Amino acid sequence: MKILCVLYDDPKKGMPKNYPIGSLPKLGKYPDGMTMPTPKSIDFKPGELLGCVSGELGLRKFLESNGHKLVVTSDKDSEGCKADKELIDADIVISQPFWPYYLTRKKIESAKKLKMAITAGIGSDHVDLQAAMDNKVDVVEVTYCNSRSVAEHIVMMILSLVRDYHNQHSIVKAGGWNIADGVQRSYDVEGMHVGTVAAGRIGLDALRKMKPFDVHLHYFDRHKLPDSVEKELNLTFHESVESLVKVCDVITINCPLHPETENLFDDKLISKMKKGAYIVNTARGKICNREAIAKALESGQLSGYAGDVWFPQPAPNDHIWRTMPNHGMTAHTSGTSLSAQARYAAGVREILECFFEKKPIREPYLIVKDGQLAGMGAHSYSKGSATGGSEEAAKYKK
Ligand code: NAD
């Protein structure tokens, strides 16, 4: 079989010769008891770069020794790009949300042999899920692999926005010592109302991680959490996102991108937020309206916006979120720490082993199966597509 793997570029100075820490901590199961990825074996050293082109998700030896062909590229967006050419006769395509290969309907229909799209990570909105269902292409992801990595990033971003870390750091880097400049927008998070849009694996972990800061915790989700969890965290459940945003000083967004959540944070919803609130969005860029966020930061309706997700990706060089005031954006990095890469590379290997051996892929890994939303897809997504406008990614110049 032919496997097309679309990965982000190598480091500008080439692959690292060594890494800051020698070995990753050993983790047991995920908090809900789910086991970590369990492939029969791996051909990489956990803790090394795997998500870039030369890292190849550690798959080459395994695939080639089993008679398969692996093509790896980062060239994914412009007309005539390598990924589009290789897709035509590919059986399986693997892509990461950090550097998403947008599988639009047109591309899916161009790939007559395509059987499965694997997301090396979590969040399969870069695939036109409706087109995948219509063309019987299965879509799977490595559920839980980086949920907790993202929750750590959320805590970092909430604290850095509210305390105004980026500004304070840049003063020091510029050789300064201007205390008043450093603190004129700086607050403690203690006592604030912090709410999450969606309390799935990431949202719930972020709430748990914020609890020790002595904040008031809130959530909105299409699925209510068990009473015991609400009690443990002293959580307030909201029936609507409007009710949530009205009372929160900090909102973190943790739902997948699908037609129900696309453009959720538009001018109207942002105007219902508490004046001067903060948003941390590590879910997907398209859940927030690009112009509405920039406008709200300019006017002071929002005090800060941070996250690592954009639309499209890579974000065009003139994307307004690069230059808007009081933002703490990074490129899409939260779910691809070296720790997370080891888990999702192992998860992809597990999925491929199951596929080749015709064994069932774990139910929670399924998004689309046999033309239907399935597994986590049925729990967390709605039918339709959220890939519209993705061709703008070709505007990014390295
Ligand atoms: P999850 O499936 O465990 O949780 C998703 C939650 O969203 C579920 O509880 C679901 O009920 C809720 N939800 C779905 N639609 C909703 C709606 N319309 N309104 C309210 N709630 C809704 O997934 P997860 O592991 O928590 O990941 C969530 C999302 O975070 C992913 O789909 C992905 O987009 C994003 N993510 C980003 C990164 C990153 O690197 N930045 C990494 C992993 C995941």
DSSP 335: G
Q: Say if residues 223 and 253 touch (Cβ distance below 8 Å).
A: no
Give the tens place of pLDDT for each residue, 229-249: 999 999 999 999 999 999 999
By three-state DSSP, how is residue 272 classified? coil
Whole-number Å distance between alpha carbons of 221 and 109: 34
User: What percent of the chain clears pLDDT 90, i.e. is strictly above it?
Assistant: 99
Q: Which atom of ligand 1 is nearest to the CA of 205?
A: 26
User: By CB neighbour count within 10 A (0-12 exposed, 13-18 middle, 19+ buried), where does 373 fall?
Assistant: buried
Q: Give 47's pLDDT tier (boundaries 50, 70, 90).
A: very high
Q: Could you tell me the distance, in angstroms and rounded to a whole number, from the CA of residue 203 to the centre of ligand 1?
A: 8
Q: Give 193's pLDDT tier (boundaries 50, 70, 90).
A: very high
Task: Provide the pairing of β-strand 366-369 with 138-141.
Answer: antiparallel
Whole-number Å distance between alpha carbons of 314 and 101: 10
Q: Could you tell me the distance, in angstroms and rounded to a whole number, from the CA of residue 122 to the centre of ligand 1?
A: 8
CA angle 321/327/333 to nearest 5° reads 75
Q: Could you tell me the distance, in angstroms and rounded to a whole number, from the CA of residue 380 to the centre of ligand 1?
A: 7
Give the tens place of pLDDT for each residue, 259-312: 999 999 999 999 999 999 999 999 999 999 999 999 999 999 999 999 999 999
E strands in 12-123: 69-73, 92-95, 116-119
Whole-number Å distance between alpha carbons of 220 and 227: 14
Residue among 363, 367, 374, 378 at smallest CA distance from 35? 363
- Residue 230's contacts (CB-CB under 8 Å, 6 or more residues apart) are 237
User: What percent of the chain clears pLDDT 70, i.e. is strictly above it?
Assistant: 100
Where do the H-state alpha helices sit in the chain?
Answer: 60-65, 82-87, 105-110, 129-134, 147-163, 165-173, 179-183, 201-210, 227-232, 241-247, 267-271, 290-299, 338-356, 375-380
Mean pLDDT of the chain: 98
Q: Say if residues 288 and 264 touch (Cβ distance below 8 Å).
A: yes
Q: Say if residues 24 and 346 touch (Cβ distance below 8 Å).
A: no
Whole-number Å distance between alpha carbons of 241 and 293: 17
Clarify whether 313 is annotated catalytic.
yes
Q: Give 393's pLDDT tier (boundaries 50, 70, 90).
A: very high
List the domains of the chain with CATH numbers: 2-145+336-395 (3.40.50.720), 147-322 (3.40.50.720)
Averaged pLDDT, 166-190: 98
Q: Could you tell me the distance, in angstroms and rounded to a whole number, from the CA of residue 12 to the centre of ligand 1?
A: 32
Averaged pLDDT, 378-393: 95
Q: Say if residues 118 and 92 touch (Cβ distance below 8 Å).
A: yes
DSSP 19: -
Give the model's pLDDT for residue 204: 98
* 95, 129, 202, 376: residue to mutate for ligand 1 pocket, most atoms within 8 A of CB: 202
Give the model's pLDDT for residue 319: 98
Pick the residue whose CA is nearest to atom 33 on ligand 1. Answer: 123
33 C-beta neighbours (distance < 10 Å), count:
7
DSSP 338: H
Pick the residue whose CA is nearest to atom 39 on ligand 1. Answer: 335
Give the tens place of pLDDT for each residue, 85-99: 999 999 999 999 999
Give the model's pLDDT for residue 161: 98
- Residue 359's contacts (CB-CB under 8 Å, 6 or more residues apart) are 353
Active site residue: 153, 193, 284, 327, which one? 284
Give the model's pLDDT for residue 374: 98
Q: Say if residues 94 and 3 touch (Cβ distance below 8 Å).
A: yes
Helices 147-163 and 165-173, axial angle in degrees (round to 10): 70
Whole-number Å distance between alpha carbons of 227 and 234: 10
Give the model's pLDDT for residue 114: 98
Ligand 1 binding pocket, CB closer than 6 Å: 121-123, 146-147, 150, 198-203, 221-223, 254-257, 260-261, 282-284, 308-309, 332, 334-335, 376, 380
Cα dihedral sign, 265-267-272-274: positive
Give the model's pLDDT for residue 263: 98
- Residue 172's contacts (CB-CB under 8 Å, 6 or more residues apart) are none
Q: What is the pTM of this model?
A: 0.98
Q: Which atom of ligand 1 is nearest to the CA of 143?
A: 25
Q: Say if residues 124 and 132 touch (Cβ distance below 8 Å).
A: no
- Retrieve residue 289's tokens: 């309206």
